[in-house]
Amino acid sequence: MTRDDPNRHLRFEGPPLAADEPVEEVVPGDEVGRYRVVERIGAGGMAEVFRATYDGRFGDKKQVVLKLVLPELAESADYAGMFLDEGRLTASLSHPNLPVAYELGLHGGRNYLAMEWVDGVPLRKIVSRARERNTRLPLDATLKLMGQLLECLSYVHTLRDAQGAPLRIVHRDVSPSNLLVTDSGALKLLDFGIAKARMHEHVTQAGHVKGKMGYMSPEQSRGLTVDLRTDIYAAGTLLYLLVTGVGPFEHLSEAHAVLQACATGYFPKPREVDPTLDPELERIIMRALALEAGDRYPTADAMLAELEVFALYARLMPSTRALAAAMRELFPERVKPAKEPRVRRSSRHALPIPVLTPAPVMTVTDEELASSQGPSASMLTEPATVGMADAAPGGDDDQELTPPLGTPAVGGAPTVPLSWVVAAALLAAFLVTLVGIIALNRPSKVEVAPQLEEFSSPK
């Protein structure tokens, strides 16, 4: 591979196409290349998906997503070629809202693709959980989700090769199953398995329909040529779903009826489903879902710009923080408990910190003080409260009493409060400073006298 090759970061392990060897089933515990399969996540129309691990550079365990061609399709050169197209395309993409492709290889007669593991929740499950709770995503969270999706689509649609020629990539399968949202509010667009691009060697034949019913554009459902406006239509169906709680074609149960309605543009308007919806937001959705591709937004950026203007008009602040908060609200079981702070010790030889306990308090009345060998009771005008450093239950007669500050000491002169001493010191410092300032401002006779004599002496 050359330096300008968009697939230079993709590692190839073995022949990229299907080989003449028996097809092997993959189960948890098997090793596929350098990856150990942990569990099966699911399967699609062309591949099944596993979670796997491999040993990192520093001995740590890394998680990946492992996609393998379905066993019944492994011997088909057409499907093997499509799988290779997906690997090449995924490797050429680099965007925060897209997963990273690590490796493309062959194992047991089946091609596999290792990709970045994204710990997130499918949008399909988010919508389902919201329905269970009879709620929807907050509008600011919805607009942030759509903003990330449209930014990602804009990047994909405008991508060029090393020579500057547009790749003309169309995802063709933007649906709730292919969107993951992480706990931190990040969106990932998955599965370019049926994407259309100029770099692909295997092109979909005219009349063949690829995509998910309910999210296909009218031209896509009729098997016609598609362009980036097909993904704009899919984005409109997702926005319709998020703000109303139902998809535009969910009122239909039969597959042929869904295809017919999709091809003819027959579906209820958003405000017919939810009359409280803002009319401006309905206008944006209806333009994205226009029957004719020429009536839709020409680019993903154009649709994103109108959503941003609407957010400003509606006084909303779409943010990742809002989307993350909505995820915590819908999936509290995914919230990890906070760890207790660890106390760092400065030295293992440090002395233990003593635990100080307050000393008990005893009140001495005039009669008790007069009966003792201390000063006269007439010196006290009210009962005195003193602290006992080591008082024991029951008390002893020979325990030493410590009088509070400012009370007359037994057998001596009264003590001076500490506040008085501090006040006196501050006053003395102020007086010394004042005297110094006055002395510095007084004129000097030694310097002025010669000058006076100079001006007063006759010439």
Domain boundary among 334, 367, 388: 334
Residue 151 to residue 145: CA distance in whole angstroms:
10
pLDDT of residue 397: 47
Laid out side by side, the sheet with 179-182 consists of 120-122, 179-182, 187-189
Average pLDDT, whole number, for the chain?
80
Q: What is the band of 24 on the pLDDT scale with cuts at 50, 70, 90?
A: confident
Whether 96 and 129 share a structural domain:
no
CATH value at residue 54: 3.30.200.20
pLDDT for the residue 459? 46
Q: Is 173 a catalytic residue?
A: yes
Helix axes 228-244, 300-313, angle to 10 degrees: 30
Q: pLDDT band at 206, cuts 50/70/90?
A: very low
Domain end: 67, 83, 116, which one? 116
In the chain the first and final C-alpha atoms are separated, in Å, by 103
Residue 148: band (very low, low, confident or very high) from pLDDT cuts 50, 70, 90:
very high
Q: Name the residue type at position 214.
A: G
The verdict on 156 and 203 lying in the same domain is: yes
Q: What is the pLDDT of residue 306?
A: 97
Q: How confident is the model at residue 14 (pLDDT cuts 50, 70, 90)?
A: very low
- 418 vs 168: CA distance, rounded Å: 85
Q: Which amino acid is at 188?
A: K
pLDDT value at position 345? 57
Other beta carbons less than 10 A from residue 132's beta carbon: 9
Query: Which range is least confidently modeled, 313-322, 367-376, 410-419?
Result: 367-376
Note whether 96 and 176 are same-domain residues: no
Does residue 243 sit within a domain?
Answer: yes
pLDDT tens figures, 48-98: 999 999 987 777 788 999 999 888 888 888 888 888 888 888 888 999 999
Same domain, 252 and 196: yes
Residue 380, C-beta contacts closer than 8 angstroms, at least 6 positions apart: 366, 369
The string of pLDDT tens digits covering residues 404-425 is 555 554 455 556 677 777 888 8
Same domain, 78 and 125: no
Q: Which are the contacts of 79, defined by CB distance < 8 A and separation ≥ 6?
A: 46, 69, 73
Report yes or no on whether pTM surpasses 0.75: no
Is the predicted pLDDT of residue 395 greater than 50, yes or no? Answer: no
pLDDT band of 444, cuts 50, 70, 90: low
> Is the alpha carbon torsion for 442, 448, 449, 452 positive or negative?
negative
Q: Both 109 and 128 in a single domain?
A: no
The whole-number average pLDDT for the span 234-250 is 96
3-state SS assignment for residue 364: strand
Which residue in 85, 173, 191, 231 is the catalytic one? 173
Confidence class for position 209, pLDDT limits 50, 70, 90:
low
Give the percent of the chain with pLDDT over 70: 70
**Residue at 75 is within a domain:** yes
Residue 428 lies in a domain: no
Same-domain check for residues 273 and 125: yes
Residue 359 has pLDDT above 80, yes or no: no
Q: Kindly state whether residues 80 and 180 are assigned to the same domain.
A: no
Among 276, 302, 334, the domain-final residue is 334
State whether 97 and 183 are in the same domain: no
Range of the domain at 228: 120-334
DSSP string, 228-277: HHHHHHHHHHHHHHHHHSS-TTTT--SHHHHHHHHHHT----HHHH-TTS
- Report if residue 223 sits inside a domain: yes
Same domain (yes/no): 108, 132: no
Asked if residues 243 and 274 have their Cβ atoms less than 8 Å apart, the reply is: yes
Give residue 154's pLDDT band: very low, low, confident or very high (50, 70, 90).
Answer: very high
In this structure, are 296 and 213 located in the same domain?
yes
Q: In this structure, what CATH number is given to the domain that contains residue 292?
A: 1.10.510.10
Evaluate whether residue 235 is within a structural domain: yes
pLDDT, one tens digit per residue, over 112-141 is: 999 999 999 999 999 999 999 999 999 999
Domain count, the chain: 2
Whether residue 241 sits in one domain with residue 144: yes
pLDDT greater at residue 19 or residue 100? 100
